[in-house]
A and B are shown apart, each in its own frame.
Chain A
């Protein structure tokens, strides 16, 4: 290693220090605490007794007879993953045409205007937006009024999986559009022409050239949407009404209502492990350079 390289490394280390300290303090330490809590005994009224125990994991793996159908741990875990996966798929389906549409605008003004439009929801609190959706979907809300005017019966939209999925997609969509747009924008149109020239139909070029070229954007978008959706709390709470609980609701119950912190910690750890594993499946095995 040359002097220059050694000097560069030293500088990189110094530059990484603040970020590393921040993450250690606010993420690694709490994560270790959670790990420790999961092996302790619950204290009545919250907190833990420093008394080693495997009860939390036993309860987690045994399922739980106490919990209602809606809150069975396995049910909730599976539901969270399925809803997040469905959200990811729907977002991808909606965002790709949109990203392509925005990217094809000729004028920079039109592009920027459309991108701003995608981001406008961020300017309002998620809480307010979710309450607005509650109102829209309510039994006496505008959607049902519209249906009634068309001659259909009122439907119970609220507190269904449909409502939660709708909320999840609505919340996560920008996180899919932006990375996809960035990737689509970088695609060299001449490569698509080369595909046509070499005998591939437009559909085939889309599948064999375009999609591989934007794969980095697809991966980033999918990971972001999945992670954001799977840990959603507000949407399942307000639009699921306790009937479509997700992992975050379970944690809230264990930490805030049942005061079983070790069980909450165990659920959190189990779920983090699951998420990290799925991320590794999608991203981890790929070469790093593709994302640079």
Chain B
């Protein structure tokens, strides 16, 4: 039976589990990475994402489950016989070899002939824009340069799948942002499958075709960046990817695509929902992204109580963040709601509102999502 979609570069994990003694690092993970896809595994440290990646590379043996690579069962295949290469978080460049020798290592151990190796190494170094450093030792390079060498060393082997283990985490912010774009560009040019492990949600969202959110050894949600950001399936996903206002409540009435929820503060709001069993009386969480929240003083009209998208409270804080301004509103029951408005016009996004004034908090219909856990 073929695994994945069977194509070269596809990866399929089936009920993959890894235990270290009593601790479960990865639990029952099912994941299909399509051929040529840029898939990010996103999660906090210790969530099992690196262990998952190491099992794909073969550096870690799964306790249970199967790994299929390019349509073949690779579960028992040793790492050096898998056509996948890894860019390690620490780069792991060989200190006793020059940059060119580092890049040539994979081709040399596979006994390619010398002229072909030289040709491919120089092409790989060109690709990462480091041809002038070929004869240096890794210790003579900056972090960003080492990172590029590590990338070239993996890419030169033309693997079916490139695994990237937080390769940007050691770089400073500017370099990291530049490398994101460069990596994305490389991926588009090479058409290779990239599996990218990161704890940085911005990285995952800006680079990936799809994101797999992992927590506690399990995959919670797999979807496009838009899916996981706009339609998170759980409280953890909503909270881990971007900021979110989470409101506790109880379901009053369930309809086809939304439900009415009575919040702890007594307000009734409407929240959209996916299909699935939900009955009146069950405890739920309503999630609203801060950038969708507007703050109004006094006036009515627009969205509001009729749509079930209005709450009232007191403006307790305004913080200028450069590109945005962040407002904090305290509801009567003490819950805080954050509103984030872009500073895109000369007028202040919160008008002349002062902290301490009573305000209405509103959002467009559909911006509130219902979460069950």
Please determine whether chains A and B interact with each other in the same assembly.
Answer: yes
Q: A residues within 8 Å of B by Cβ? A: 188, 190-191, 193-201, 204, 208-209, 212-213, 215
Are the C-beta atoms of A193 and B157 separated by less than 8 Å?
no
Write the chain A residue with the least CB distance to B83.
Answer: A199
- Report which of A190, A200, A204 forms a contact with B92, defined as CB distance below 8 A: A190
- Report which of A190, A193, A198, A213 forms a contact with B96, defined as CB distance below 8 A: A213
Q: Mark B80-105, 1 if CB is under 8 A from A, else 0.
A: 11001110101011111000000001
By a CB distance below 8 angstroms, the chain B residues around A215 are: 96
Interface residues of B in 23-82 (CB under 8 A from A): 57-59, 78-81
Q: What's the minimum C-beta distance from B82 to chain A, rounded to whole angstroms? A: 9
Are the C-beta atoms of A196 and B79 separated by less than 8 Å?
yes
By a CB distance below 8 angstroms, the chain A residues around B79 are: 193, 196-197
In the complex, A201→B106 CA distance in Å?
11
- Report which of A188, A200, A212 forms a contact with B80, defined as CB distance below 8 A: A200
Are the C-beta atoms of B157 and A199 separated by less than 8 Å?
yes
Are the C-beta atoms of A191 and B80 separated by less than 8 Å?
no
Write the chain B residue with the least CB distance to A215.
Answer: B96
Instruction: Given A190-B88, A194-B88, answer yes or no on A201-B80 (Cβ-Cβ < 8 Å).
Output: yes
Instruction: Given A188-B92, A212-B96, answer yes or no on A199-B57 (Cβ-Cβ < 8 Å).
Output: no
Instruction: Given A209-B94, A213-B96, answer yes or no on A199-B88 (Cβ-Cβ < 8 Å).
Output: no
Are the C-beta atoms of A198 and B109 separated by less than 8 Å?
yes
Are the C-beta atoms of B90 and A197 separated by less than 8 Å?
no
Interface secondary structure of A, over-half rule: helix
Is B189's CB within 8 Å of the partner chain A?
no
In the complex, A213→B97 CA distance in Å?
10
In the complex, A212→B86 CA distance in Å?
22
Q: Kindly list 18 other residue pairs between chains A and B, CB separation below 8 angstroms, not including A193-B88, A194-B93.
A: A190-B92, A191-B92, A194-B94, A196-B58, A196-B78, A196-B79, A197-B79, A197-B84, A198-B109, A198-B153, A199-B110, A200-B105, A200-B109, A201-B109, A208-B109, A209-B94, A212-B96, A213-B96
- Report which of A191, A199, A213 forms a contact with B106, defined as CB distance below 8 A: A199
By a CB distance below 8 angstroms, the chain B residues around A188 are: 90, 92
In the complex, A196→B105 CA distance in Å?
11
Q: What's the minimum C-beta distance from A7 to chain B, rounded to whole angstroms? A: 28
Q: What's the minimum C-beta distance from A106 to chain B, rounded to whole angstroms? A: 12
Instruction: Given A191-B94, A209-B94, A213-B95, answer yes or no on A198-B59 (Cβ-Cβ < 8 Å).
Output: no
Write the chain B residue with the least CB distance to A193.
Answer: B59
Are the C-beta atoms of A190 and B90 separated by less than 8 Å?
yes
By a CB distance below 8 angstroms, the chain B residues around A208 are: 105, 109
Q: What's the minimum C-beta distance from B45 to chain A, rounded to whole angstroms? A: 17
By a CB distance below 8 angstroms, the chain B residues around A201 are: 78, 80, 109
7 nearest interchain CB pairs? A198-B106, A194-B92, A200-B109, A212-B96, A196-B79, A190-B92, A197-B86
Q: What's the minimum C-beta distance from B122 to chain A, rounded to whole angstroms? A: 18
In the complex, A209→B105 CA distance in Å?
10
